[in-house]
């Protein structure tokens, strides 16, 4: 009789623990990943799906960690506020880990090195460095590091755009003299548009990293371990070859 009571007690405790979700490691929680899918080849929309290097990398990381992810596409300058408001758990968006942003969020290890470049009309004279933008009308994308870089140069008339392709359209129509953008997306625009080129000016190195909110050390640690694994086992290199 005593044993039966004991057994019932254990069963009740067991049921109670499961009901409370106390199943330890097996619990799979969804991680919301913010991006801005207007940054090919890192992230862009294709048939309504977000694709690109970052998306493949994120997919590989999620498999490595064993998490389920959901991509949330939004305006680039809305990403950090969304992360701080806990509407998303992390960001992967070709985002440069700047000192300014580090005050608000934590960044993972670097997963890509990039730099700003200057795009002009094909027939325009070459611009050898960023100071050469002085006296010119320059398009930048709102909230991108290119915006910050150009605003530091005195005597430049900047025009801010919500998306890269709109700036490129204006450049092609001669409404602006140049567009400052990250190297890979710039190459992509030049490849897909007639009459524009990348000048020889090279901006400072920037490092792309994933952002996680300051109080989520746990997720950050897992991301960094996964990134190291993927760099070590050839997955990361395979993705580089696929996209660049």
Nearest approach, Cβ of residue 52 and ligand ARG (Å): 9
Separation of alpha carbons 97 and 183, rounded Å: 16
User: Judged by CB, which is closer to ligand ARG: 96, or 188?
Assistant: 96
Separation of alpha carbons 168 and 205, rounded Å: 23
Q: Are 50 and 37 in contact (CB under 8 A)?
A: yes
User: Judged by CB, which is closer to ligand ARG: 89, or 182?
Assistant: 182
Nearest approach, Cβ of residue 170 and ligand ARG (Å): 18
Nearest approach, Cβ of residue 206 and ligand ARG (Å): 6
User: Judged by CB, which is closer to ligand ARG: 35, or 106?
Assistant: 35
**DSSP strand pairing (112-121 vs 205-208):** antiparallel
Nearest approach, Cβ of residue 101 and ligand ARG (Å): 8
Among all chains, which residue has been given the structure tokens 């109670």? Answer: 16
Structure tokens given for 146: 């290119």
Q: Let me know the angle formed at the C-alpha of 235 by 233 and 239, rounded to the nearest 5 degrees.
A: 155
Separation of alpha carbons 26 and 201, rounded Å: 51
Separation of alpha carbons 69 and 73, rounded Å: 13
User: Judged by CB, which is closer to ligand ARG: 100, or 217?
Assistant: 100
Separation of alpha carbons 217 and 185, rounded Å: 31
Residues of the shown chain interacting with ligand ARG in the complex, contacts defined by CB under 6 A: 35-36, 38-39, 43, 76, 93-96, 144-145, 182, 206
User: Judged by CB, which is closer to ligand ARG: 163, or 225?
Assistant: 163
Structure tokens given for 152: 């530091």
Nearest approach, Cβ of residue 39 and ligand ARG (Å): 3
């Amino acid at each position: 009789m005593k044993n039966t009571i004991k057994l019932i007690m254990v069963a009740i405790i067991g049921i109670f623990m499961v009901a409370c979700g106390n199943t330890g490691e097996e619990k799979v929680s969804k991680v919301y990943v913010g991006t801005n899918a207007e940054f090919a080849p890192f992230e862009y929309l294709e048939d309504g799906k977000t694709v690109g290097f970052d998306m493949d990398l994120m997919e590989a990381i999620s498999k490595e960690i064993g998490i389920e992810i959901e991509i949330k596409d939004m305006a680039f300058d809305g990403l950090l506020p969304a992360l701080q408001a806990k509407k998303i758990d992390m960001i992967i968006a070709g985002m440069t880990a700047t000192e300014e942003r580090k005050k608000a969020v934590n960044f993972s290890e670097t997963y890509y090195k990039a730099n700003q470049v200057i795009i002009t009309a094909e027939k325009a004279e070459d611009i050898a460095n960023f100071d050469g933008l002085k006296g010119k009308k320059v398009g930048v994308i709102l909230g991108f590091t290119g915006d910050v870089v150009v605003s530091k140069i005195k005597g430049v008339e900047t025009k801010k755009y919500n998306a890269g392709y709109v700036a490129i359209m204006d450049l092609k129509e001669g409404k602006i003299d140049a567009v400052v953008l990250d190297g890979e997306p710039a190459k992509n625009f030049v490849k897909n548009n007639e009459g524009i080129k990348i000048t020889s000016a090279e901006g400072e190195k920037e490092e792309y990293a994933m952002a996680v909110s300051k109080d989520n050390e746990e997720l950050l640690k897992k991301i960094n371990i996964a990134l190291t694994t993927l760099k070590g086992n050839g997955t990361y290199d395979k993705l580089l070859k696929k996209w660049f």
